Structure 1
Amino acid sequence: MEDLSAAMAKTKGVTMVELNGNKTKTIKGRVVLMKKNLTDMTDPAASLLDRVRELLHHRVSLQLISATQVDFANWKRGKLSMPAYLEDWVATLVPITAKEATYSITFEWDAETMGVPGAFIVRNHHHSQFYLKNVTLYDDHGSPWVHFDCNSWVYPTNRYTYNRIFFSNKSYLPSETPEALRDYRMEELENLRGNGRKGELKEWDRVYDYAYYNDLGSPELGQGHARPVLGGSDKYPYPRRGKTGRAPNRKDPNTESRLHGLDVIFLNIYVPRDERFSTVKFWDFLAYFVKAVSQTMGTVLDDHNILEFHSIQDVLNLYEGHIKLPKNDTLKGIRDVIPWTLVKELLRNDGEKFMKFPIPAVIKEDKNAWRTDEEFARETLAGLNPVVISRLREFPPTSKLDPEEYGDQHSSIRKDDIEKNMDRSVKQALDENRLFILDHHDGLMPYLRRINSTSTKTYATRTIFFLQDDGTLKPLAIELSLPHPQGDKHGSVSKVFTPENDGIGKSVWQLAKAYVGVNDSGYHQLISHWLNTHAVVEPFIIASNRQLSVLHPIYKLLHPHFRDTMNINALARMLLINANGIVELTVYPRKYALEMSSAIYKSWNFTEQALPADLLKRGMAVKDSRSPNGISLVIKDYPFAVDGLEIWSAIETWVTEYSSFYYPSDTAVQTDSELQSWWEEIRNEGHGDLKDKPWWPEMRTKHDLIQACTTIIWMASALHASVNFGQYPYAGYLPNRPTVSRRFMPESGTKEYAELEKNPDKALLKTITPQDQTMIGVSLIEILSRHSADEIYLGQRDTLEWTSDEKPLAALERFRDRLIEIEKNIATRNSDSNLKNRTGPVNVPYTLLYPNTSDYSGEGGLTGMGIPNSISI
């Protein structure tokens, strides 16, 4: 209670005013909020109607709750002040765009008898909602006394069956909560759980609950639009998503009905209102979406045949258009009328090309370097999917698929295939930890027969690399496998291809690398990106809001890392990963995309999401007690791992210092009722299909808590940044990262083989992603690769007053200082010519794990750097 005692001491001499002949003590307050404005197209009359309500004395009131003095007549809850009202609402103009406004408020409050406020009740009697940012109370000297960090939308009182309560920025473990606030703390959590609320949830509802992924299909449109329910079964396990409560589909009661009409146009899918994009973020997203559509349409209009690219130059023309708007200042005034992002992207006044895609980094300096074996190999270590490659520990590579069901699936690559391209034997290379594999065989093979029954024609691939003396990888062999034509139990049919430098052999090898790219692109989008960050993190968000009070220190630690994730996941279910959505249209598994990710989720392991554990599992590191993280990298120049381990260590140190302030012992962890309920719900509900797995931490020690929180923050921040923001730089140029293959490797003597021999590029383009799908896919990843203007990065908080505890504040400063040091280290490594994997033949520095602490107030965009706190796109 030291902070409360100190706050009490600051109230001596509070202001006395005359009220009805009696002297009454008062305290002043400042309320910062954001009204609805003209950019909210759904309710343009909101401001006027709020003013009318204000004039009719239907106002916004706040009522303080004491944290130190209880009212025995009110079930020992904190004493309440009289309601106080926001001042000068009518006189305060509403800005056209989303901006904060500040209001004064005066409370009747006698600190000697009422103590220190620890919470307040807000009642909104206006027509429309407002965003309440914070409230600060001042002592009689004008110094801040108590601060409330709110950051929440407050709807009119008729939308709630309970009082909206906000707590001060002091953290308490459940057992340490002042008696005056305990009931309020518990009731707020009950409200957020929804108490089993049934029916469709509305935008003002604040309910966090779980549901299966049963909203992806539209079975009423026919069998081709139906999709299995993911989650709740051994056949299709999956993380839980946020509940919307929509009615069952009229064709299939196990499927939730989908949105239609205006709800789709306005992206109006339910998530708790505080989880939705900010106004700035929404307009950014909308602007990028409209711009992407205009680019796609503009390019389609340029070509009578929208199905195929005829040459590599056709692809390059996507970025090398000639439509420009002149540089001038005539548009500057418009930015005050509608969001500037929309102006900037649709009416360019900076000389950039209009209705054309930005040039992807991979072809910016050299249009052909992506073709090289060196770049093909380097991108497994420093590209957009550097989390799959593993060390080869036995030869030939083996399969873990059940031979009773899938027959012999072991690799057909032999020693002769690879020894001809390295200066030692396979045994020597294995003993020296020089052989590595990009293995997409087992994950794809069970689905390959069905996938190839669609328009996709592809292979399950294995690619073997050799670690050279200069630290770079050299591809040695690619194996392309198909299910046996006589049935799965007969195993696979495979062909092995090795590098060739000229003639038809060179063209065949280039095509083999394209099939590997197709496999890796699909795995990246569905597993590395969607499943292992977006989908698996959402249950942690739901459980945190249901079981951890906003007063809880672990809630305050994790909450910044959950920003916008439920919203972007909901939009993904609406537009991207749904039946016949953009992912199914542009990524090779087609209608089996999410079903395939469910199969891979079966082997998901929370503890292995920690970076050191992941590297050990993949054999990319070995245990080493002398190293900072207890491991030593097998490939010293592995940019993702080198930068990632520094980021991981910084996060772990920050979490350790923060948690140790609140948890002095293991007993404190064990006796924290909210923490134990939180962890139990994550395991049994959020990831309920894996609840019986033995790898779940028990949450009995400080070490358990620190490792769990570090892993969650890593997944939501750095891991997501590493697999998301490289999409446009590398995959914005589809020949480098094709997402679809439409025909098999041509056989000698066929017309396709003759075409490959005569015109390799045309044969390649006829095999990989066609033009129309390229347009859609590139438009999507341009949106996903952009940082929004209001991005909040690792080491940053949206307010400096998120806690009143000084030691956690100091620990956060040290965390940020460490991130600045890491930036310098990354810049140094990127400029070291001896580290060839840092930039490669394409000369693209590895910056995907560059924290970018200096760009906290930047305008966002395709920066290719910066680690947002959360999965915000």
Structure 2
Amino acid sequence: MAEYQVEVLTGDMEYAGTRDHIYVTLTGADGKSERTELDNFGLDFRTGDTATYTIKTNSSLGKLLLIKLEKEANTLLVMEDEWYCSKIVVKTPEGDAILFPCHLWMSRGEVVELRGGKATKVFEDDHPALVDHRKQELIQKKNTFQWRVLDEGIPHINHYKEVAELPAEIRFSKSKSSEILHTKIKSGIELMLKGMLGSAENWETIDDMKKIFWLKKTPMSEYVTEHWKDDDFFGSQFLNAINPKVIKRCSELPPNFPVTDKMVQPFLEKGSSLQKEMEKGNIFLYDQKMMDGISPRLQDGKPLHVTPCICLLYSNPEKKLMPIAIQLHQQPSETNPIFLPSDSETDWLLAKMFVKNADLMDHQAVHHLMNTHFLAEAYCVATHRCLPVVHPIYKLLIPHFRYTLPINTGGRLNLFGPEGALSISSLGYEGLMELMRRGLSAVTFSALCLPYNITSRGLESVPNFYFRDDGLKLWGIVNSYVKAMVEFYYPSDDDVRKDSELQDWISEIFTHGVLGKKESEFPESFSTVEELVRFLTMVVFTVTGRHAALNDGQFDYHSWVPNGSLLLMKPPPTSKGQSSMKTVMETLPNLGDTVSFAALAWVLSQTYSDTVTIGQFPEERFDEPVPKQIIKEFQAELSYLSEAISSRNSQLEVPYIYLNPNRVQNSITI
């Protein structure tokens, strides 16, 4: 007689427990156990509980391979009673304790087979039962997760059109769903009580806009409200606000940007010149040429206005990045003047507002939505389709895809719907889609790797660039973690080449993520361990650090809509000296649109109770000592970085908080 101790952990999220009947069957290399109900005295499978059951067999089953779980209805209960099983640990007669990760919701009548033991690659399975289980799992997963084309020229997406259609285990937790709803209701009620929601009235004064939210403020949002007109603050946002990936060092002016030395010399160091400052590496360029020629949205039958602008910035001796020249359209002309800080206050302010309008649409469409959310969805869907749960790369990546599909599926309706904030932007749905198409055509794998991105833009030494400083450190920590994990499971390049599941995975990403474009530099296959490490580092950093930097400051910087609006109502100035503060107020969106943008920033920057920060893995998936130790070292390095960032920030007037590991989320969840 042999005894197996089966320890079952029920999840600790809301409604994870069940009163239904749970049956288990153990499969070993030498036989199977009887189908056995897991039933102790009292109530089994309560939320957050761990229970141990004994299963007896006539003899040892040999190497334990699979666990079959079955859930049957309790005849005393009428309503569906789903159960979330986190994991099962089986102690064998030989003294081994084998982890069987589950992390699934089970419905009545459902049968689930779990793989246990260490992570394995496809060519390492040596038992027919495991080979067949692996094959059947991938068939089922490819049926569960399919590709869909949302629009021509952008990454393909998952085929589910409603969040409610998604498999239960990848949907939001009930607590998060209720908190998101509460946030929307809370902001909506406040704005409704103030008579702002849906109002078509125009703002009378800038100070009136300070009344948008009473219940929600942050130190940074209040700082922005007071400093949004300041040139040094305008320049600093290209480094440390929500779109720090666009400016480049300028060694030669574009031919379509005829800035003369005489124009900008008053704003340079005394006795210097534009040429000298370019040679010193102190001149930077923001060039929104990718937006040129895209048709804006129609408002009341008339087109709105989009400015594919060019902005010249100067890193001055006080280590401040200052705007010194702005051209609002690509082709110079008499009706497209170059605006300067010496122009009238409102001319210069309007020029900066149109730059921020273009930058914010570029940020949302290309850098935020496409380069993080949409590409992450391609990585996620390919992972579900191509890698079985026992695969080491699945175990490595799946915590970093938590909530990716529900936030994207729901976001496409909320953001791009008829009343969505992006649909009412200056570009509108069609314009933003075209911008995303152009963005995908321009994106390269190298540019998504932060060290190359910083170097290629010539930003290695620009002062006070905290996104760069914190981001490169975080990239290095992620890279060391990924490298250690990959080298443990792939001792040689040959292991990478012969892993057919891994090759299918990267092939699907190349086909559906970047649409098979070789110029993207995305790999079509992997030949070396080094290639695999670099690609996985990019993926993990994208869904953690990059997304945090591009998303989490949205309320801080853009709940005050004058600092950057997705929608501007009047055309940009075509001559100097004709504007006033009245022009500025007429250019800003009306009350209803303004508060819609501010409310969106509130929701997108909210922190929820079930947040998981980078390096935290509440779902245990690795069973071997070495990966567990690698995770501990990863967590320690993240903790050291967090302490260093907090110490640095304590000395800054405007702290940079978005890449502090104690707040960077482990996946894209908002």
2:669 maps to a residue whose letter is S
Q: 1:284 to 1:359 in 2, by over 3 A?
A: same
CA-CA distance at 1:796 after TM superposition: 1.0
Per-residue CA distance 1:618-657 (angstroms, 9 max, x = gap): 232xxxxxxxxxxxx1314211111100000000011111
1-structure distance, mates of 2:360, 2:194? 24
1-structure distance, mates of 2:14, 2:658? 36
SS of 2:371's equivalent? helix
Higher RCO (CA < 8 A, seq sep 6+): 2
2-structure distance, mates of 1:868, 1:169? 28
1-structure distance, mates of 2:329, 2:224? 33
1-structure distance, mates of 2:622, 2:45? 31
Structure 1's unaligned 5+ residue stretches are: 1-23, 41-46, 71-78, 195-206, 214-229, 231-235, 245-257, 259-266, 320-355, 399-409, 485-490, 621-632, 833-838, 853-865
**Residue 592 (structure 1) aligned to one of 431, 436, 457:** 431
Quick check: 1:29–1:138 contact (8 Å CA) kept in 2? yes
CA-CA distance at 1:80 after TM superposition: 2.3
Quick check: 1:208–1:272 contact (8 Å CA) kept in 2? no
1:649 corresponds to which residue? Answer: 476
**Residue 105 (structure 1) aligned to one of 53, 56, 64:** 53
2:205 corresponds to which residue? Answer: 311
Matched, 1:174 2:122: yes
CA-CA distance at 1:103 after TM superposition: 4.0
1:359 corresponds to which residue? Answer: 217
1:768 maps to a residue whose letter is L
2-structure distance, mates of 1:481, 1:37? 54
Matched, 1:241 2:87: no
Q: 1:687 to 1:90 in 2, by over 3 A?
A: farther
CA-CA distance at 1:492 after TM superposition: 10
CA-CA distance at 1:155 after TM superposition: 2.1
1:681 corresponds to which residue? Answer: 508
1:212 corresponds to which residue? Answer: 149
Matched, 1:387 2:245: yes
Identical-residue share of aligned pairs (%):
24
**Residue 416 (structure 1) aligned to one of 262, 274, 286:** 262
Quick check: 1:669–1:699 contact (8 Å CA) kept in 2? yes
2-structure distance, mates of 1:272, 1:372? 49
Quick check: 1:698–1:704 contact (8 Å CA) kept in 2? no
CA-CA distance at 1:305 after TM superposition: 6.1
Structure 2's unaligned 5+ residue stretches are: 74-79
1-structure distance, mates of 2:67, 2:195? 57
2-structure distance, mates of 1:36, 1:610? 35
Quick check: 1:62–1:122 contact (8 Å CA) kept in 2? yes
TM-score between both structures, scaled by the size of structure 1: 0.71
Quick check: 1:384–1:724 contact (8 Å CA) kept in 2? yes
1:372 corresponds to which residue? Answer: 230
TM-score between both structures, scaled by the size of structure 2: 0.92
1:444 corresponds to which residue? Answer: 291
2:631 corresponds to which residue? Answer: 812
Equivalences for 1:635-784 in 2 at 5 Å?
A: 635-690=462-517, 693-696=520-523, 698-746=525-573, 753=578, 756-757=579-580, 760=581, 762-784=582-604
1:822 corresponds to which residue? Answer: 641
CA-CA distance at 1:271 after TM superposition: 2.4
2-structure distance, mates of 1:721, 1:32? 32
1-structure distance, mates of 2:359, 2:519? 31
1:117 corresponds to which residue? Answer: 64
1-structure distance, mates of 2:248, 2:280? 15
Quick check: 2:242–2:554 contact (8 Å CA) kept in 1? yes
2-structure distance, mates of 1:304, 1:174? 56
RMSD after superposition? 2.8
2-structure distance, mates of 1:304, 1:171? 54
1:807 maps to a residue whose letter is V
SS of 1:583's equivalent? coil
Equivalences for 1:788-803 in 2 at 5 Å?
A: 788-799=608-619, 801-803=620-622
Per-residue CA distance 1:783-808 (angstroms, 9 max, x = gap): 11012211111111014x42111111
1:222 corresponds to which residue? Answer: none
Quick check: 2:67–2:113 contact (8 Å CA) kept in 1? yes
2:660 maps to a residue whose letter is Y
Matched, 1:26 2:3: yes
Matched, 1:286 2:197: no
1:848 maps to a residue whose letter is Y
Q: 1:788 to 1:118 in 2, by over 3 A?
A: farther
CA-CA distance at 1:121 after TM superposition: 1.2
1:149 maps to a residue whose letter is P
Equivalences for 1:480-559 in 2 at 5 Å?
A: 480-481=328-329, 494-500=336-342, 505-559=344-398
2:627 maps to a residue whose letter is P
1:402 corresponds to which residue? Answer: none
Per-residue CA distance 1:215-262 (angstroms, 9 max, x = gap): xxxxxxxxxxxxxxx1xxxxx311110013xxxxxxxxxxxxx7xxxx
CA-CA distance at 1:677 after TM superposition: 1.5
1-structure distance, mates of 2:118, 2:198? 64
Quick check: 2:404–2:668 contact (8 Å CA) kept in 1? yes
SS of 1:582's equivalent? coil
2-structure distance, mates of 1:802, 1:694? 32
Q: 1:492 to 1:595 in 2, by over 3 A?
A: farther
SS of 1:551's equivalent? coil
2:316 corresponds to which residue? Answer: 468
Q: Which moved more, 1:469-478 or 1:577-586?
A: 577-586
2-structure distance, mates of 1:714, 1:273? 26
- The structure with the largest alpha-carbon Rg is 1
Quick check: 2:354–2:572 contact (8 Å CA) kept in 1? no
SS of 1:494's equivalent? coil
Q: Which moved more, 1:173-182 or 1:642-651?
A: 173-182
Matched, 1:613 2:452: yes
SS of 2:86's equivalent? strand
Per-residue CA distance 1:572-601 (angstroms, 9 max, x = gap): 122212354331124544542223212221
CA-CA distance at 1:376 after TM superposition: 0.5
Per-residue CA distance 1:738-793 (angstroms, 9 max, x = gap): 2211112456799xx4xx44xx2x43222122210111111111111012211111
Quick check: 2:304–2:571 contact (8 Å CA) kept in 1? no
2-structure distance, mates of 1:186, 1:431? 60
Matched, 1:867 2:664: yes
Q: 1:313 to 1:426 in 2, by over 3 A?
A: closer
